[in-house]
Amino acid sequence: MIMTLTPEQQAELDEVVLGSLLRQAYAGDPQETSRIARVLTRLDAEAVTATAPPADSRRSSRRWISVALAASVLLMAGYSLTYVTASNPAYAAVMRSLKVAPSTRAYRIKMVHQRPIWGKREVTSDLYLNNQDQFVVRHPGLSRFGDVWIGGNATSRWVVPRFGPAYVGGEEVVGNWLMRKDIPSPYLHVSTILERMSRAYQLKILSNESLPEIDSPDKFTSCQHVVGELRRSNVALPAKIELWASVETGMAHRLELTWQRPASERGPIRWSIDLVGSPELPSNWFELEGHVLKDRKIIPIKSTAELDAVENDSQ
């Protein structure tokens, strides 16, 4: 736009800007929090009424998405974190990480699990995510089963063991299969961790930290550091989750999960999840077909009872 404002008009506007900045500097914006709340309420209402009445979980999911999107809008707007969400900047950082991401990301997961008598065991696996809410995990397995490929989205899963048929089913049933094989699966989604973090954890934001990039240790990314501590004791959930999210992009660069588990109990005690990069992957990488040969048998499993039957047949 070509400016035709006279110097007097520009001076008048400069004075107006200065006045506005001074008011901001002195008082901030005490109405900001309530304004945000009203926007979220309106978005929430739109998300629910824009569709046919969904099942509770779907409604909850939509509500969650609308809140996450709205929060990301607010944060991207460049208001200070402390300004936009004066009551909880850490929550805002987590919400931002939920939304902002490049098309494909690869993470390295180091999992330390403990077993009575056997002691601790460390396993490293690779996690790939895309923007369509799909994921793939290459898991070395904890026993004789070798590499296992697991994939899916927020509600459904497929799993490709090293030998035998591949399985397709809901989150719970495939989760059951993995549990039987001693393969941990509850936190395959980085977004699941972040979502849990925002709901079940008391969050606080610490000083920014610079993290070295895994593939280029001489390069550093400035990250917001958010710590979440579990509100109610629950050994199944990590007692503490830490998130390092890029100051620039909001993307999760590192997550650390720590459980407080008695030494006599088996289960995870520490996970670290580090961003490796944004690799170019085959177009079917996030589909089951990308990880099985054509003649591989694929068994759909709808219930745990079906899983039991399949397992019995194969033994």
Partner 1 sequence: MLTTYLRAAGCDDTLLDDVWQETMIVAWRKLDEFDRSKPFGPWLRGIAARTLMAGRRAASRVVLTDDAEALEYLNQRLERINHLSGDTLDEKLDALRDCVSKLTTSDRECIELRFRDDLMPAAISERVDVALETIKKRLFRAKQQLQLCLERKLQAN
Q: Which of 48, 69, 214, 310 binds partner 1 (CB under 8 A)?
A: 69
Q: Which stretch binds partner 1 (CB under 8 A): 78-86, 165-173, 251-259, 282-290?
A: 78-86
DSSP of the chain: ------HHHHHHHHHHHHHHHHHHHHH--TTHHHHHHHHHHHHHHHHHHTSSPPPHHHHHHHHHHHHHHHHHHHHHTT--HHHHTTT-HHHHHHHHHHH---SEEEEEEEEEEEETTTEEEEEEEEEEEETTS-EEEEE--SSTT--EEEEE-SSEEEEE-SSS-EEEEEHHHHHHHHHHTT---TT--HHHHHHHHHHHEEEEEEEEEEEE-SS-TT-EEEEEEEEEEESS--TTS-SEEEEEEETTT--EEEEEEE----TTS-EEEEEEEEEEE-----TTTTSGGGGS-TT--EEEE-SHHHHHHHHHHH-
Burial of 15-54, coded b for 16+ CB within 10 Å and e otherwise, reads: eeeeeeeeeeeeeeeeeeeeebeeebeebbeebeeeeeee
Per CB under 8 A, does 29 bind partner 1? yes
Q: Which of 51, 192, 208, 284 binds partner 1 (CB under 8 A)?
A: 208
Instruction: Mark the segment that binds partner 1 (CB under 8 A) among 79-87, 103-111, 170-178, 287-295.
Output: 79-87
Residue from 51, 54, 60, 76 that binds partner 1 (CB under 8 A)? 76
Least separation in angstroms between CB 123 and partner 1: 35
Interacting stretch for partner 1, rule CB under 8 A, among 56-64, 71-79, 191-199, 282-290?
Answer: 71-79
Does 45 sit near partner 1 (CB under 8 A)?
A: no
Asked if 206 interacts with partner 1 (CB under 8 A), we say no
Q: Which of 23, 58, 115, 231 binds partner 1 (CB under 8 A)?
A: 23
Q: Which of residues 228-247 bind partner 1 (CB under 8 A)?
A: 247
When asked if residue 21 is in the footprint of partner 1 (CB under 8 A), the reply is: yes
50 touches partner 1 (CB under 8 A): no
Pick 37 or 305: Cβ nearer partner 1: 37
Q: Does 37 bind partner 1 (CB under 8 A)?
A: no
* Of positions 72, 88, 198, 246, contacts partner 1 by CB under 8 A: 72
Q: Does 38 bind partner 1 (CB under 8 A)?
A: yes
Window of 18-26, 135-143, 183-191, 193-201 that interacts with partner 1 by CB under 8 A: 18-26
Measured from the CB atom, the residue of 28 and 116 that comes closer to partner 1 is 28
Q: Is 132 in the site for partner 1 (CB under 8 A)?
A: no
Q: Which of 7, 49, 57, 77 binds partner 1 (CB under 8 A)?
A: 77
Residues that bind partner 1 (CB under 8 A): 1, 3-5, 9-10, 13-29, 31-32, 35, 38-39, 42-43, 66, 69-70, 72-74, 76-83, 208, 247
